[in-house]
Amino acid sequence: MTDATTTDLYEVTMAMSYLREGMDQPATFSLFVRDLPPERGFLVAAGLEPSLDYLSRLHVGPEDVRDFAATLHRPEGDLQELLALEFRGDVRAVPEGRLVFAGEPLMEVTAPLPQAQFVETYLLGQVCHQTVVASKAARCVMAAAGRPVVDFSLRRTHGPQAGFQAARVSAMVGFAGTSNVAAAAELGIPGSGTMAHSYVEAFPGEEEAFRAFARAHSGPVTFLVDTYDTDLGVRTAARVLADIRRGAGCAVRLDSGDLGALAHRARGILDWAGLAEVRIVASGGLDEYAVDELVRGGAPIDVYAVGTKVGTAADAPYLDAAYKLVQYAGRPVMKLSSAKATAPAPKQVFRGPGCRDVVGLDGEEPPDGGEPMLRSVMVGGRRTGPPDNLAAARARFEADLASLPEAARRIRGPHPPPRPVVSPRLAALTVRTRNEIEEVVRRTLARSGRRPPEDGAS
């Protein structure tokens, strides 16, 4: 099974029909978010790099055709038009790390219609999942107010690929490390890990466990201190740490209970033992809301380890996103469905001060010196440059975040910037295209003997 079969069945049936009908003229699809999730003042664009990897290697082989035929319960010969389908189109997209908002394209794909249609499912899956996780992780970084945040999400994400993606995009927005060995090794993210409660339970007592762990690891160590009695665990850890004197970098980890109160008591015990350099790590069901409360409450926590709620973007786990046809064979097209209408033609997003955006037609002059957001990243199925890197994406994120209005950065009750303004040229084309489509609908209804819709209905 290949990536070609990682798609919805209707992408296969539509692409096959297009090919049979000879409909292979250039088509442009726009990927955008209709509305921000609740409690979000912004989104962080993510998922572009894996999407480009997919597009550059897409190839429908004989085994894929067999799978398509078996799923459709049809002879393989019926689907031979799809054999050797590859992506040979162009992509313009917002680079990873940029802040984005509802109502503006994150990506536009232009390719022969069967190709551009076929890739819809994979692109939406990559961009939507990674964007929601990156946005959740970014809010954790903001809540921590300069304290390191590390990714502990792998065991709770929806599969190993999702865990890898969570580690990658969290590093992109400023996480200091990850527990995910594969991500750490492949992406150069600092690895971060301590011990489990099972390790402590396997020994006769906590002191034996801590000393054994220290013997196995020559550098700084972190002891999990809440397996039994947390205060006693901190005292035991302090005694062992005072004996081994590993210096800066050692820590105790709190994983349950009232983390604020426990951190205050742990700090007191460590300081009394002369271990002011020993840090306190907190974990256990944390997200930006919990981190924000702990930071605002003055908890003496040095590092926050977040997992389940961030790796799954638990409070907003999906995007109301769409991938819609906006032009075919040079003809602007749009959807008129109630509450889901789209705008026609390829577009550009122009970023102004304070993330005040304008959506216009591709090729328009930037209004008032606005910065074009969509860049050419693929031409003819090939990347326009080397793969992007996490450092560059992180720099873009930090620059955009610095320009974001304070109201949009709030952890609770954020107010995003106003929805993007539509340029006069795009507005005029939208009206013209709508009128043309509605005229076709009226003629069709008249031929069928049905009454035409009221003005503005469709």
Q: What pLDDT is stored for residue 448 in this prediction?
A: 83
Question: Would you state the structure tokens that stand for residue 85, as one six-digit string?
Answer: 């389908």
Average pLDDT along the chain = 95
Decide if pLDDT at 326 tops 70: yes
Select from 280, 325, 262, 292 the least CA-distant residue to 412. Answer: 292
Q: What pLDDT is stored for residue 458 in this prediction?
A: 44
Decide if pLDDT at 114 tops 60: yes
Q: What pLDDT is stored for residue 340 in this prediction?
A: 84
Q: What pLDDT is stored for residue 452 in this prediction?
A: 60
Q: Which residues of 146-170 are buried (b: 16+ CB within 10 A; e: fewer)?
A: ebbbbbbbbebbeeeebbbbbbbbb
Select from 85, 72, 97 the least CA-distant residue to 9. Answer: 72
Instruction: Return the biggest CA–CA distance within the chain.
Output: 92
Decide if pLDDT at 450 tops 80: no
Decide if pLDDT at 347 tops 50: yes
Q: What pLDDT is stored for residue 137 in this prediction?
A: 98
Four-CA torsion 449, 455, 456, 457, nearest 10 degrees: -30
Decide if pLDDT at 150 tops 60: yes
**Helix/strand/coil (H/E/C) assignment for every residue in 416-456:** CCCCCEECHHHHHHHHHHHHHHHHHHHHHHHHHCCCCCCCC
Q: How far apart are CA 444 and CA 254, in angstroms?
A: 68
Question: Would you state the structure tokens that stand for residue 188, as one six-digit string?
Answer: 């150069």
Residue 321's DSSP bridge partners are 33
Question: Residue 53: what are its φ and ψ, rounded to 5°?
Answer: -60, -45
User: Strands across the sheet with 177-178, in order?
Assistant: 177-178, 149-151, 303-306, 279-282, 251-254, 222-224
Triad 399, 396, 412: Cα angle to 5°: 65
Q: How far apart are CA 70 and CA 20, in angstroms?
A: 20
Q: How far apart are CA 173 and CA 38, in angstroms?
A: 20
Decide if pLDDT at 43 tops 80: yes
Q: How far apart are CA 26 and CA 109, in angstroms?
A: 10
Q: What pLDDT is stored for residue 271 in this prediction?
A: 98
State percent of the chain over pLDDT 90. Answer: 92
Average pLDDT over residues 198-224: 97
CB 194 within 8 A of CB 223: yes
Decide if pLDDT at 453 tops 70: no
Name the strand (E) or helix (H) holding 26. Answer: strand 26-35
Q: Which domains are delineated in the chain?
A: 3-132+316-426 (3.20.140.10), 193-311 (3.20.20.70)
- pLDDT bin (cut points 50, 70, 90) of residue 8 is very high
List, in order, residues 6 or more apart from 31 with CB less than 8 Å away: 105, 106, 107, 108, 109, 123, 124, 127, 321, 322, 323
Q: In terms of DSSP H, where are the helices of 145-180? A: 160-172
Average pLDDT over residues 222-241: 98
DSSP letter for 158, please: S
- 388-443 pLDDT, tens digit per residue, is 999 999 999 999 999 999 999 999 999 999 999 999 999 999 999 999 999 998 89
